[in-house]
C-alpha cells in the first residue's frame, strides 16, 4: 500500500498477444519502432519478470478480472450454460469459460472504491453468448470486426471475385500437397475460412480506421465525456492478435525484397515446414507492423491525457495477456508444449499517480496477472480482500527492488500442460508427465537443450511445485487433441465460401 494522492482516473490497458521482446527498447528490442511505449516507460515501474498464470486469452482475463488464479478451476469448469463459442469446439479448453458467478468482477470492486467503471474492448471473445466479462461496467463499448467476430457475412465494397483474390493473396501457399481429409488439409481449409471472415469484417476499414485506432479513439471520446468524473477505464485492445494486416507502410518497415503472398496469419503447428523462408519473414514483419500500429494508437491516447492535464495524476497500468510463437523453437501459434519465452513473457508497466523518475526496473521478483487487482487496492489505500491471491505491487513506487517472499519462481497452466520457471531452470510438462522438457537457463538461456532425462530429481522437484500451486487435481485431459480437432475441422471445412460457388 502506497500513501499519496488518490488518482482521479485509473486506466488498465491490455493488449492481446503483445510479446515482451517486441515492446520496445525498454525490453531490449532496438529495431522495432515503438516510440510511444519507449517514452511511456520513462514514467513507469517496469517489471522484468511478469507472466500470465494461465493461457490463452480468456483464462488470462479471468485472473486479471478477479484477482484469483484461473488454473485452480481447470478441472472444475462452470456447468449448465450454452454457447456457440468455436474455441470450445476444439475440445474442453480449461479456463475458457465465464467468470464464475461467485467471483466478483474488477468493475464491481472499482465501483465499491468510488470509481465509475467502463470497458472499451475489441476482444470479441468477451461478448460471446453467456460470457460475462462486461458485468458491472456502467458503460461498455464493443469495437467490432477482429478475427472471426460475427460482424459481417456479406460484401458491399468489393465483388466476390475481388474477395477471392484478397483471400488467396493473404494465405500461405503450402509447399506440400496434403492428402484429402488429412489434418494438414483441414488446417489449410480453416486457414482460408478464418482469413475470409476477417477480410469481410474489415472490408470498410482503411489505414486510419484500423481496430486499434477505433479502440483508443473511443477511449478518448469516453474520457472527454467524463472529465468531471472519477473513472476506471479498462481498455482491451485485441491487436496485435492475428490476423496481422497493418498498413503496408508499417509492414515494409520490417520486410525487404519479398515477392510472395502478403501472409497475415500462420497456422498453429508444431513445425514450420509448411512455411517458406519468405513467408516466415512476411509473418514476422506483419506482426511487427501491427505492434507499431498499436504503439501509435496508444501514443494518441497518452498524448490526449497529457493535453487535458490528466496524465500526471492518473494511474495507468499497461500489459499483455501472452505472446506468440512465430517460428521460434519450430512452433507457430499458441501451443501448450511451446511455453517458451516468446509465448509466456509479457510486458508490464505501472505509471503511478504523480509519476516517478524512471524507468524503474523491478527484476528480483516474479509477478502475475492476478497481482493487478490487489495493486489497485494498494494505490487506493484500501484494505485488500482476502479472496485475492495476488500481491500489492504499489510498494515498489517508494521501495527499492527486492525479492518478495514466495515469488522466486512462477507456475503457468495451459490446457493439460504446465510450466515451472525460476532463475535457474524451466520445466515444460504434460500434466500426466508423459512429455517433459527441462532447461538449464544459466547455461542454455535460449531454451534449446532438453536435459529432463538426465535430471529426474530436478524434474520431480519442479513438478511438485506446480502441484502445490494448483491446490487440487491437475487438469489431465479433454483439451485439444487430434481426434477432436479433426471432427471440428471437418465441420468447418463443409462451410462453403460464396466465391467458391
Domain extents in the chain: 9-403+488-500
Strand partners, 152: none
Average pLDDT score over residue span 126-136: 93
Between CA 179 and CA 159 the distance in angstroms is 31
Least confident of 83-97, 380-394, 399-413: 83-97
**What is the CATH T-level fold of the domain 9-403+488-500, as seen in this structure?**
Alkaline Phosphatase, subunit A (3.40.720)
Q: How many C-beta neighbours within 10 Å does residue 256 have?
A: 8
pTM of the full structure: 0.96
Higher pLDDT, 153 or 157: 153
Spell 141-171 as b/e; 16+ CB within 10 A means b: bbbbbbbbbebbeeeeeeeeeebbebbeebb
Residue 347 class from Cβ within 10 Å (0-12 exposed, 13-18 middle, 19+ buried)?
buried
Dihedral angle over CA of 437, 440, 444, 447, nearest 10: 30
Q: Which residues contact 91 (CB under 8 A, 6 or more apart)?
A: 478, 479, 480, 481, 484, 485
Provide the pLDDT confidence category of residue 4 given band limits of 50, 70 and 90.
low
Least confident of 200-204, 221-225, 337-341: 200-204
Answer whether residue 482 shows pLDDT above 60. Answer: no
At residue 174's C-alpha, the angle toward residues 491 and 246, to 5°, is 85
Q: State residue 479's pLDDT score.
A: 46
At residue 326's C-alpha, the angle toward residues 320 and 332, to 5°, is 100
Between CA 39 and CA 43 the distance in angstroms is 8
Q: Give CA 218 to chain center in angstroms.
A: 21
Between CA 146 and CA 150 the distance in angstroms is 9
Average pLDDT score over residue span 397-411: 96
If DSSP codes are grouped into helix, strand and coil, which group holds residue 295? helix
Residue with cell 491471491: 389
Answer whether residue 393 shows pLDDT above 90. Answer: yes
Provide the pLDDT confidence category of residue 478 given band limits of 50, 70 and 90.
low
Between CA 302 and CA 279 the distance in angstroms is 35
For residues 238 and 198, the answer to whether their CB atoms sit within 8 Å is: no
Average pLDDT score over residue span 371-399: 97
In three-state form (DSSP H/G/I as H, E/B as E, the rest C), the secondary structure along 233-246 is: EEEEECCCCCCCCC
Q: State residue 489's pLDDT score.
A: 61
Amino acid at each position: 500500500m502506497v500513501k499519496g494522492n488518490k488518482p482521479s482516473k485509473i486506466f488498465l490497458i491490455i493488449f492481446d498477444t503483445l510479446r515482451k521482446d517486441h515492446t520496445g527498447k525498454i525490453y531490449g528490442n532496438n529495431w522495432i519502432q515503438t516510440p510511444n511505449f519507449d517514452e511511456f516507460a520513462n514514467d513507469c515501474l517496469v517489471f522484468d519478470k511478469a507472466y500470465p498464470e494461465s493461457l490463452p486469452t480468456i483464462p488470462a482475463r479471468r485472473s486479471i478480472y478477479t484477482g484469483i488464479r484461473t488454473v485452480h478451476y481447470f478441472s472444475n469448469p462452470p456447468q449448465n450454460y450454452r454457447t456457440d463459442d468455436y474455441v470450445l469446439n476444439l475440445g474442453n479448453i480449461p479456463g475458457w469459460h465465464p467468470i464464475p458467478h461467485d467471483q466478483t468482477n474488477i468493475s464491481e470492486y472499482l465501483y465499491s472504491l468510488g470509481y465509475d467503471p467502463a470497458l472499451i474492448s475489441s476482444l470479441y471473445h468477451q461478448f460471446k453468448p453467456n460470457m460475462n466479462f462486461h458485468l458491472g461496467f456502467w458503460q461498455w463499448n464493443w469495437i467490432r470486426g477482429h478475427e472471426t467476430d460475427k460482424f459481417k457475412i456479406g460484401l458491399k465494397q468489393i465483388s466476390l471475385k475481388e474477395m477471392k483474390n484478397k483471400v488467396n493473396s493473404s494465405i500461405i501457399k503450402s509447399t506440400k500437397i496434403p492428402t484429402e481429409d488429412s489434418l494438414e488439409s483441414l488446417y489449410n481449409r480453416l486457414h482460408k475460412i478464418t482469413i475470409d471472415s476477417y477480410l469481410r469484417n474489415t472490408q470498410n476499414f482503411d489505414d486510419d480506421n484500423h481496430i486499434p485506432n477505433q479502440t483508443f479513439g473511443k477511449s478518448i471520446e469516453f474520457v472527454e465525456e467524463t472529465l468531471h468524473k472519477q473513472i476506471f477505464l479498462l481498455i482491451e485492445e485485441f491487436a496485435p492478435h492475428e490476423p496481422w494486416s497493418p498498413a503496408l507502410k508499417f509492414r515494409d518497415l520490417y520486410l525487404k525484397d519479398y515477392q510472395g503472398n502478403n501472409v497475415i496469419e500462420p497456422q498453429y503447428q508444431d513445425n514450420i515446414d509448411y512455411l517458406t523462408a519468405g513467408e516466415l519473414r512476411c509473418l514476422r514483419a506483419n506482426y511487427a507492423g501491427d505492434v507499431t500500429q498499436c504503439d501509435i494508437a496508444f501514443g494518441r491516447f497518452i498524448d490526449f491525457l497529457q493535453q487535458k492535464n490528466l496524465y500526471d495524476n492518473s494511474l495507468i497500468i499497461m500489459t499483455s495477456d501472452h505472446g506468440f510463437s512465430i517460428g521460434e523453437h519450430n512452433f507457430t501459434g499458441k501451443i501448450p508444449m511451446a511455453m517458451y519465452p516468446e509465448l509466456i513473457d509479457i510486458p508490464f508497466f505501472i505509471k503511478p499517480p504523480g509519476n516517478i523518475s524512471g524507468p524503474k526496473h523491478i527484476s528480483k521478483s516474479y509477478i502475475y496477472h492476478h497481482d493487478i487487482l490487489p495493486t489497485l487496492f494498494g494505490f487506493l489505500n484500501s484494505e485488500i480482500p482476502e479472496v485475492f491471491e495476488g500481491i500489492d505491487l504499489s510498494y515498489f513506487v517508494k521501495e527499492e527492488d527486492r525479492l518478495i517472499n514466495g515469488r522466486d519462481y512462477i507456475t503457468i497452466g495451459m490446457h493439460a500442460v504446465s510450466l515451472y520457471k525460476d532463475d535457474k531452470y524451466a520445466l515444460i510438462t504434460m500434466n500426466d508427465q508423459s512429455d517433459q522438457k527441462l532447461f538449464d537457463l544459466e547455461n542454455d538461456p535460449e531454451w534449446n537443450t532438453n536435459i529432463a532425462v538426465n535430471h529426474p530429481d530436478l524434474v520431480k522437484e519442479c513438478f511438485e511445485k506446480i502441484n502445490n500451486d494448483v491446490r487440487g487435481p491437475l487438469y489431465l485431459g479433454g483439451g485439444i487433441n487430434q481426434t477432436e480437432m479433426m471432427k471440428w475441422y471437418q465441420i468447418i471445412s463443409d462451410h462453403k465460401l460464396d466465391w467458391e460457388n
